[in-house]
């Protein structure tokens, strides 16, 4: 067993700061009127951790302060666990701010210990979280190492024993306040002059148990791996929902694109973790004190990339009438499908390879309306109006070639009129024909009245070559052009 | 460059000097399917990435059949779409299939406004997801700037863009690299082509092309059968419309 622990030291502030539209304003997390955490801008202004809220505000007038939002933190941690699900199937949440991942089976795929560590830090960084990674042979060891930011020197391709001895060696150096021991026990140890875990390990177990109770022994056995430490593993949720409540209302659509990008990026990583693509999603723009506007976006094939999701959503947003200022934004997936990446050419056309045929259709549909873009098909019907149909475009590399028309003795026009256009016989010069087509007496009420048309290829006086017919009444119509 | 050659030769040999008679025909175009036309075009066909204008006042003189062989080639070679932006009539699937076009690769786009049509055209061209884009745009809303943008987009998307414009557009300047005016001829299934602008050559006055058609002629047997049905429907022979085409009329007489 090999555990990674991602401890997020500034998690409380990072969760709250997501509500801000821009990252550049100084922000602090406050508890009991004391500054608990600062972002970079607040640090740059000179705010120190532990100073009072009044001091902080006087130092930096533009300061935004948040109180801890435990519910939001829990939700976010749950999301991060789903996003890291891509590295391993065994992901466990350690509240308040750590994720534990069992990676024994994933090391080779992600390029060894250090490759995986880089990937994990990169993923969390992209999602807006700074992470300290601890690696250990037990979950608690990884957690303690991550909290202590103890970088234990692990061999590049370690055997199980090599890791264990290296981890135990590093654990010995860890100060007790980074462990899961309660504050009372830490203080008692400190009064006895015991500061690190190594010193505790050296003490006789029986004496420790008598003085500190079985809880401490249990912890020591779990952290060193003498006792199994089963974790509750995360089961990924079936549906993605994320909501952002802003600090101030957003009135312009351009300003909305920033938080939208944030949510779309979260969705992308969630989808990658689940190996899914989204087919249909919905944005909900909620203003303060009136009803929310919902915008649904549909994709022709499952999509993952946040750029695609956003570009199509923006096209749709342009057409949307958002009268009120938006205070809250929510992104929900409606329909998901298994993800299958497109086949890309190995050679050549590198600059075009990034474009997928489905994206174009989505963009057309988003801007022009759902039925403004269709494909066409032939249909087996002898009546000209029904021998074709508009259908959703076939997406995928294996488009099936339509069978060529079986009757090769007849000619059909390339352009067909929606409704036949009346014309006069004397304007026409008939070239070929007649071809009699029964136009479906069965589809009309008066079944005893035979209905047929005699079609000719003709040349109109204006020079165009057209497909004309004469009905039983002797009226002539243009039905298509040999354009 | 040697000193022995005269000053005129030295000047002519200068690499910056462009000489119209020295243009090497390139051959990376899409064959038009009409050897006479191919021979006149610098790409030996339609440009693979470029803007072409087809100018005509009439629908139905053979403007699509002129493009037919090229579209069939593109469909066979490429997986990309062919986008039809706002065509005046329905692109009729059975006929397209008959001339070898893969109807599964056609996208029929019906924008509701002129702005949307222009947007859709430019977007389809530059997206790189289309091998060809055929567009019928509102001439009154079309500015030289738009055409310039479309032309630049063709480079980016490696797309053949074909604009169908009315004949009067010939009087206006255009950035399109190939402009062809189409008109009807006195004979059926032939198209008169006038190249107004082409790269690497002067305009070509008039050229008659026999249009490609895969459909076969009506055989005598078919015709006789049809005449039988015609008669059995109660019409008299003299009610039959007269068939003017030579081959058909001859068989018609035999049949009668």
Q: A364 vs B61: CB contact, 8 Å cut-off?
A: no
pLDDT, residue B221, reads 43
In whole angstroms, what is the distance from residue B91 CA to residue B105 CA? 13
The secondary element (H helix, E strand) that includes residue A26 is none
The answer on B142 and B227 residing in a single domain is no
pLDDT at A33 over 70: yes
Cβ contact A368–B112 (<8 Å): yes
- B224 and B182, same domain (yes or no): no
Chain B hits for A381, CB-CB cut-off 8 Å, are none
Report the CATH number that the domain containing residue A11 is assigned in CATH: 3.30.70.270
Boundary (domain end) residue, out of A224, A252, A276: A224
Interface of B with A in 212-231 (CB under 8 A): 213-216, 218-219, 222, 226, 229-230
List the one residue out of A413, A414, A290, A328 whose CA is nearest residue A18: A328
Both A268 and A338 in a single domain? yes
Based on the fold, state whether residues A196 and A311 are members of the same structural domain: no
Give yes or no: residues B224 and B118 share one domain.
Answer: no
A171-175, A347-351, A460-464, B155-159 — which is least confidently predicted? A347-351
Give the minimum alpha-carbon distance from A399 to chain B in angstroms, rounded to a whole number. 6
Number of compact structural domains in chain B: 2
CA distance B144 to chain A (A): 24
- A399 in a domain, yes or no? no
Write out pLDDT tens, residues A211-224.
888 888 888 888 88
Percent of chain A's residues with pLDDT above 90 = 3
Average pLDDT, rounded, for chain B:
79
The per-residue pLDDT for range A193-251, each reduced to its tens digit, is 888 888 888 888 888 888 888 888 888 888 888 888 888 888 888 888 888 888 888 88
A261 shares its domain with A220: no
CA distance A364 to A372: 7
Closest chain A residue by Cα to residue B222 = A409
Asked whether residue B134 falls in the same domain as residue B59, the answer is yes
Mean pLDDT check: name the lowest of A173-182, A191-200, B2-11, B197-206.
B2-11
The CATH number linked to B162 is 3.40.50.300
How high is the pLDDT of residue B135?
94
Together in a domain, B181 and B125: yes
| Interface check B63 vs A, CB under 8 A | yes
Last-in-domain residue among A192, A224, A256: A224
**Is B41 within the bounds of a domain?**
yes
What CA–CA distance (Å, rounded) separates A474 from A429?
16
Structural domain containing residue B225: 220-255
Whole-angstrom Cα distance, residue A180 to residue B230?
Answer: 98
Query: Can you tell me the distance from the alpha carbon of A327 to that of A292, in angstroms, rounded to the nearest whole number?
Result: 10
Q: Identify whether A111 is part of a domain.
A: yes
Q: Do B80 and A357 touch (CB under 8 A)?
A: yes
Do A213 and A282 belong together in one domain? no
ipTM score of the complex?
0.74
Comparing CB atoms, the residue among A356, A394, A480 nearest residue B104 is A394
Same domain, A187 and A117: yes
CA-to-CA separations, A8 to A41, A181, A183, in angstroms, rounded:
19, 19, 21
DSSP state at residue A176: G
User: Looking at residue B164, what is its pLDDT?
Assistant: 94
Cα–Cα dist B162/B182, whole Å? 13
Looking at the complex, does the CB of residue B124 fall below 8 Å from at least one CB of chain A?
Answer: yes
What's the structural domain count of chain A?
Answer: 3
Mutation target vs A (from B49, B104, B108; most A CBs, 10 A cutoff): B104
Whether B127 maps to a domain, the answer reads: yes
CB nearest to B60's CB, from A373, A389, A465: A465
- Give DSSP secondary structure letters for B96-139: HHHTT--GGGEEEE--SSHHHHHHHHHHHHHHS-EEEEEEE--G
Q: Cα separation of B208 and B183, whole Å?
A: 10
| Domain extent for A245 | 241-344+355-365
pLDDT in tens, A89-115: 888 988 888 899 988 888 878 877 888
Contact between B92 and A415 using a beta-carbon 8 Å cutoff: yes
Residues B116, B194 within the same domain: yes
Residues of chain A neighbouring B244 (CB-CB closer than 8 A) = 429-431
Q: Is residue B13 part of a domain?
A: no
Q: With a cut of 50, say whether residue B218 has pLDDT above it.
A: no
Are residues A351 and B214, on separate chains, in Cβ contact within 8 Å? no
Q: Are residues A213 and A248 in the same domain?
A: no
One DSSP character per residue, B208-255 reads: EEEPP--PPPPPHHHHHHHHHHHHHTT--GGGSPPP-SHHHHHHHHHH
Are residues B152 and B124 part of one domain? yes
**Residue A374 bridge partners (DSSP):** B108
Residue A279 is assigned to a structural domain of this protein: yes
Which chain A residues touch B104 with a CB distance below 8 Å?
375, 377, 394, 399-402
CA–CA gap between residue A172 and residue A201 (Å, rounded): 8
Q: What pLDDT sits at residue B24?
A: 62
**Residue of chain A nearest B63, judged by CA positions:** A483
A332 Cβ contact list (under 8 Å, min separation 6): A239, A240, A241, A281, A282, A284
CA distance B83 to chain A (A): 9
Beta strands in B13-114 (DSSP E): 50-55, 81-85, 90-91, 106-109
Q: What confidence tens digit (pLDDT) does each residue in A421-472 have?
A: 999 888 888 888 788 888 766 666 655 666 788 889 898 888 888 999 988 8
pLDDT at A405: 46
CB A460 within 8 A of CB A423: yes
Residue B156 confidence (pLDDT) above 50: yes
* pLDDT, tens digit (0-9, with 9 covering 90-100), for A121-163: 888 888 888 888 888 888 888 888 888 887 766 766 666 677 7
List CB contacts (< 8 A) between A465 and chain B.
60-62, 184, 188-189
What would the pLDDT profile of A330-363 be if each residue is shown by its tens digit?
899 988 888 877 666 666 554 444 566 788 888 8
């Amino acid at each position: 067993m090999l555990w990674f622990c991602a401890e997020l030291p500034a998690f409380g502030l990072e969760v709250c700061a997501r509500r801000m539209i821009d990252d550049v304003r100084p922000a602090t997390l406050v508890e009991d009127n004391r500054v608990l955490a600062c972002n970079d801008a607040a640090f740059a202004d000179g705010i120190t951790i532990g100073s009072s809220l009044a001091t902080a505000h006087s130092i930096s007038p533009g300061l935004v302060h948040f109180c801890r939002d435990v519910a939001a933190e829990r939700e976010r941690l749950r999301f991060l666990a789903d996003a890291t699900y891509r590295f391993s199937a065994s992901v466990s949440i350690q509240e308040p701010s750590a994720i534990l991942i069992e990676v024994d089976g994933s090391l080779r795929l992600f390029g060894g210990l250090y490759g995986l560590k880089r990937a994990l830090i990169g993923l969390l960084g992209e999602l807006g979280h700074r992470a300290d990674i601890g690696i250990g042979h037990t979950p608690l060891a990884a957690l303690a190492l991550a909290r202590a930011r103890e970088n234990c020197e692990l061999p590049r391709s370690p055997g199980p024993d090599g890791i264990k001895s290296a981890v135990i060696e590093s654990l010995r150096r860890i100060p007790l306040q980074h462990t899961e021991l309660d504050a009372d026990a830490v203080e008692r140890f400190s009064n006895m002059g015991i500061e690190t875990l190594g010193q505790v390990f050296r003490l006789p177990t029986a004496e420790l148990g008598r003085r500190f109770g079985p809880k401490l022994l249990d912890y020591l056995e779990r952290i060193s791996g003498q006792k199994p430490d089963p974790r509750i593993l995360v089961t990924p949720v079936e549906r993605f929902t994320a909501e952002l409540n802003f600090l101030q209302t957003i009135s312009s659509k351009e300003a909305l694109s920033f938080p939208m990008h944030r949510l779309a990026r979260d969705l992308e990583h969630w989808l990658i973790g689940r190996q899914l693509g989204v087919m249909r999603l919905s944005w909900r723009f909620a203003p303060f004190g009136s009803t929310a506007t919902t915008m649904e976006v549909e994709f022709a094939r499952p999509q993952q990339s946040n750029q695609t999701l956003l570009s199509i959503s923006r096209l749709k947003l342009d057409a949307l009438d958002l009268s009120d200022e938006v205070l809250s934004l929510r992104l929900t997936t409606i329909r998901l499908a298994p993800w299958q990446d497109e086949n890309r050419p190995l050679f050549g056309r590198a600059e075009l390879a990034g474009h997928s045929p489905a994206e174009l259709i989505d963009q057309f549909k988003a801007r022009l309306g759902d039925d403004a873009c269709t494909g066409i098909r032939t249909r087996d019907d002898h009546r000209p109006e029904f021998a074709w149909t508009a259908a959703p475009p076939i997406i995928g590399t294996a488009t099936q070639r339509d069978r060529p028309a079986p009757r090769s003795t007849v000619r059909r026009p390339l352009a067909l009129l929606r409704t036949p256009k009346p014309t006069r016989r004397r304007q026409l010069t008939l070239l070929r024909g007649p071809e009699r087509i029964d136009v479906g007496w069965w589809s009309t009420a008066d079944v005893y009245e035979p209905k047929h048309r005699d079609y000719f290829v003709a040349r109109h006086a204006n020079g165009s070559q057209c497909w004309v017919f004469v009905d039983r009444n002797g009226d002539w119509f243009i039905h298509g052009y040999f354009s | 460059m040697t000193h022995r050659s005269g000053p005129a030769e030295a000047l002519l040999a200068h690499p910056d000097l462009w000489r119209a008679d020295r243009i090497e025909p390139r051959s990376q175009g899409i064959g038009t399917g009409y050897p006479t036309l191919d021979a006149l075009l610098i790409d030996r066909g339609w440009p693979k990435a470029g803007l072409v204008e087809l100018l005509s006042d009439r629908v139905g003189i053979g403007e699509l059949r002129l493009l037919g062989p090229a579209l069939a080639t593109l469909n066979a070679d490429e997986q990309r779409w062919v986008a039809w932006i706002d065509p005046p009539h329905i692109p009729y699937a059975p006929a397209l299939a008959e001339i070898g076009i893969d109807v599964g690769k056609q996208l029929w786009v019906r924008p509701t406004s002129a702005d949307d049509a222009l947007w859709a055209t430019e977007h389809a061209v530059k997206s790189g997801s289309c091998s060809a884009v055929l567009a019928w745009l509102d001439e009154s809303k079309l500015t030289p700037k738009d055409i310039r943008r479309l032309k630049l987009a063709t480079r980016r998307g490696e797309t053949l863009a074909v604009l169908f414009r009315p004949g009067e557009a010939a009087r206006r300047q255009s950035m399109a690299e190939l402009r062809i005016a189409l008109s009807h001829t006195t004979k059926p299934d032939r198209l008169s082509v006038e190249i107004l602008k082409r790269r690497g050559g002067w305009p070509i006055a008039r050229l008659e092309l026999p249009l490609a058609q895969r459909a076969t002629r009506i055989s005598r047997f078919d015709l006789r059968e049809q005449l039988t049905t015609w008669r059995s429907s109660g019409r008299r022979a003299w009610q039959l419309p007269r068939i003017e085409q030579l081959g058909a009329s001859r068989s018609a007489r035999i049949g009668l």
